[in-house]
Structures are given as C-alpha cells and as structure tokens.
Amino acid sequence: MTILPHSCNNKSDIILLKKLCLDCEEPFNRFQDMKRHIFTKHCKDLSSCSKKDHGKSTDGIPVHVYNKSNVKKYTQEGITIITKFACPSCRDIFNTVSELAHHVDNNHVKRTPSLEKLPPEDKRWVIDGHDISSRFQEYRQSCIIASRMTEFAVESHFNELLAMSGILVLQRRGNLPTDIFPPSLLMAARTELLAKYRRDTFQPHVRSAVQSIIQQFVDENITKTRAKIELLSLCKPIVSPSPQDSIKPTEYECAVIMAIVALLSYLYDSHLTSSYIHPFMHGLLSAKKPSKVAHYSNIVPEEFDDAIDRPDYKIDVYASSGYRFSYTNAYGEVKKNSNVSVTLLAKDFYRLCIFNKEAIDRYNLRNALTFQVTGNSVTFFTMQLEFPFLYTITELARLRIPTKKSDLLDLMGHVDNLLFVASLYRDHCLVSENDLTPRRCDTLSSTYLDVIKSKLAPRKRTCNSTLDS
C-alpha cells in the first residue's frame, strides 16, 4: 500500500479525505461528531457551512472519504492513495494536520457569547422609567455566567438560552425572573411593541359578506365550489350599478379571505386534512404576491452558515427584476399531532427564534415573522431589532383552525387577528432603511445544544412555555 502526503497528478491516483481533530488528531466519520468533540474537549466553537461535500475531484483527481473499506479497495486495485485532511467548516482540504489547524484557528473559530457594553442612555429601551435594556443586560450576563457552571435543558431554560443570543421573549405569559422583569413590566413591554403596528378590523360589510357565505356553506345551501367562487369574487368584485353597494375589501382583508378559501379546499365533512398548512399560510401571507414564495423546506437553509436543523416552512422573497433570491422573512414549524412532547415544542420554538435572528442579521430586516403549528393550534410571533443588542420575539396572535365543517364559523372570531398578522407581514417584514449592524450581537452556537441533545427531558416534564396548550 502506498499512502502519500502530497499530490500527484496521475490517473491512477485517488485522494482520500481524513476527518481528524485538529488538536488531538482523533479520527471521526462525521463532521458533526468532530465539531462536537472539538467544542467539548478543546473549547473551540467552529462555524459550519451548509454544504459538506468537498467535491468529487481535485485537480482532476477523484476524491473520496478515508476509511478502511476505501483503503483496502484502492490498494487492491493498485491505485496510489493520497491522504489529505478536510476542513469541517468549508470545502478546503490540506496536506497536513498542522496546515488544517492553522486554517481553522484563523478562519473558523467563533467567539463565545460575550456581553457588549451597555448602549448610551438615548439608545436604550425605557418604559415608564424602567430601563429594559439595562435589565436585559443584567439578565443576559447572569445566563452566560450560569451556562459555564451548568447545562441548560432547552425545554426548561429556553428563555436563558435565547437571552444568551440577545433575544427577549415577550409572550402573553412570561417566565422570566420576576426580580428583574416583573410580569407587569413584561406586559407593558409587549403592549408598547404591539402598539407600534397598525391594527385594523374587518370592515363590517366585508365581515358580514364573508360570514354569510360561510353560513350558507355550513348549512349546505351552497356547495364548496360555489362558496369558494363567492369568496374569491369579494376580492375582485364585479362593478355593480350601485357603486355604494359594492364590496371592496382592503389588500389585507383579501389576504384573510384567500386563506379561508384555501382552507375550504382541505376541509371535509368530518376533519381537516393535515396538508392544510401550506395553502392556508400561502393565502394569508403570499397570495397575489409573485415575488414571495411560500413553501415547505426539507433542507437546512443555505443562507445560514451555522444553521441548526431545518425549518418546516419558510417564505422566500425574490427581486422583481431578474427574479433573484433576495431574503427569507418568515419561518414556521409544524407538528401535525397535538400530543407532542413539550421538549420538542420548546426546541422548535428556540430554533425558530434563531432562524429569525439570523435572517434579521444577514438581510438587515426590520421584522421577521414566525409561526408554530401544533395540531390545529397556530401561534404567530414577530422578531425585531429596535434597540442595540436586544432582539424581541413578540407573540402576536393565537388561534385554532377549525377541524370540522360545522366549526368553520368559529374562524370568524379570529379574522381580525389574521388581518393583523397579514398587515404586519406585508408592511414590516422588509429590509430596513437603516443599517442594523451596530445593534447586532453574537448568536449562541448550535453546537452547545447539540452537545446536550442527548439529555433532553422526558415527555412528562413541565415546560415554561405557553406553546403546548
């Protein structure tokens, strides 16, 4: 067997890539295991790229993974084996471990979460004399210190984990330390943020028309097809002899109507099919918007260098000229069954928050939208970076999608909330006119959670999240 540390440009050569720890040279079969080892044993957090493939050839020489099977195979075939070392964070390969170590240490070692200096008073978030920015910095500092002495489980400490990345969770029911964030202060903070967004209600005549059509459908006076036609006709009314009698929904009302129409297609006499999420979200957020593409996502978002797992759903925005990808401004997680472990729900929520933060940081977004679906329960959130080093993820609305035809009228009680979500998404989930770079802070490494993944809580453990009800 001939194994060379250098390259030879010969058709009988083969490059086998080794995955070795750059500090202790322990071998690994997967980059994920290698990164976890480097993080836990050598206290180095490496960035990662979405594409792990180092290519099929280098300078015309085939490239394969180094393992016993390949070594035996190519040795028996009389092929010269050239060993090289693969970078776990990019597609570069190196002749020696020392070259790999130098490259990684200088290019891919991420900084651990650190506390930025408190911004000047005129740039802080203050409510009724309460300095939210300084309180959050105090809380974030306590979380970073505590993380060095104990491991946070995601289902019981997702607030702490998110705070380490600069994210403050504002839900209807908060679970932050009351000595730092009294419930009344958190409620005031959430109220102040929501007050900045436009919140319209359905025009009475539009609401009445929609409700009348749904009532006729529920009473089986009209067919599903006829109900859809009549609802769609509201969005593009035929000019009548009496213009004052014509129904003219706003753009946002049309979005809600489109979501209801999409829902009708998947609502049968007894139950709602599990595939309703895409048409419903498409109707609400991206219908009649060719530049916005809502879709299920079955790959890790390639726009992120250090993505954690994958989102179930996202909305991509494309430039009007040339139809080139511009940014992603919405993410969703979907669990079809309502009987889901609270650990998984908390983990999904954490991931959604990180996806939103990374989108804001990468694309300089004013807001990003996220939603979490459990069975037929849908909760909407929005994230923004209005103040330095303080990302807020705010609960917007929560509703249950009707699962039976007879319950369809219940949705009329939520149309104003859906209208709010549709208008916020269209008006605020855009690229900011201001440069948000000075306000950003580092994101906690996904490797940290990967290390404690094996210690997830049992299904019955309580979770300090409102997402499971």
Cα–Cα distance measured from residue 408 to residue 138, given in angstroms and rounded to the nearest whole number: 47
pLDDT at 55: 54
What single-letter DSSP state applies at residue 224? Answer: H
Cα–Cα distances in Å, from 364 out to 208, 225, 326, 349? 40, 43, 11, 22
Compute the Cα dihedral for 229, 235, 236, 238 and give only its sign: positive
pLDDT at 85: 84
Cα–Cα distance measured from residue 77 to residue 69, given in angstroms and rounded to the nearest whole number: 12
Adjacent-strand bridge partners of 81: 3, 14
End-to-end CA gap in the chain: 62
Q: Which amino acid, 99? A: E
Kindly give the confidence (pLDDT) of every residue in the chain, 469 residues in length, as a single tens digit, with 9 standing for 90 and above. 444 444 444 557 888 888 888 788 888 887 777 877 877 777 677 766 544 455 555 666 788 888 888 888 888 888 888 888 888 878 788 888 888 888 887 777 766 556 678 889 999 999 999 999 999 999 999 988 887 777 787 778 889 999 999 999 998 776 788 889 999 999 999 999 999 999 999 999 999 999 999 999 999 999 999 999 999 999 875 444 445 455 689 999 999 999 999 888 776 544 444 567 778 888 888 866 767 777 766 544 544 444 446 788 889 999 877 678 899 999 999 888 778 888 888 889 999 999 999 999 999 999 999 999 998 899 999 999 999 999 999 999 999 988 788 888 999 999 999 999 999 999 999 999 999 999 999 888 776 666 555 444 444 444 444 444 4
Q: What angle do CA 370, 145, 23 make, to 5 degrees?
A: 90
- Residue for token pair 């219940």: 410
